């Protein structure tokens, strides 16, 4: 399980929106920041250090 996403959560044929960044070297890799499901649920896959302003 990774950030609440198990293999049973995303079903075959389900449309999800993944926000992230493509690899800078042009390879077929990406870094996903969040996944939005058809029902509007959103799971953030990035670590707490990304955009976390509470750390000093």
Mean pLDDT, 10 residues at a time, the chain of 56 residues: 71 91 88 89 70 46
Cα 25 to Cα 8: distance, rounded to the nearest angstrom: 32
User: What are the residue ranges spanned by the domains of the chain?
Assistant: 1-46
Q: Which pTM was predicted? A: 0.60
| Model pLDDT, residue 14 | 92
Tally of CB atoms within 10 A around 44: 15
H or E stretch covering 6: none
């Amino acid at each position: 399980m990774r950030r609440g996403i198990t293999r049973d959560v995303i079903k075959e044929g389900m449309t999800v929106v993944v926000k992230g960044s493509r690899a800078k070297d042009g390879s077929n890799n990406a870094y996903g920041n969040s996944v939005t499901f058809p029902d509007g649920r959103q799971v953030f896959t990035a670590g707490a250090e990304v955009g976390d302003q509470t750390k000093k």
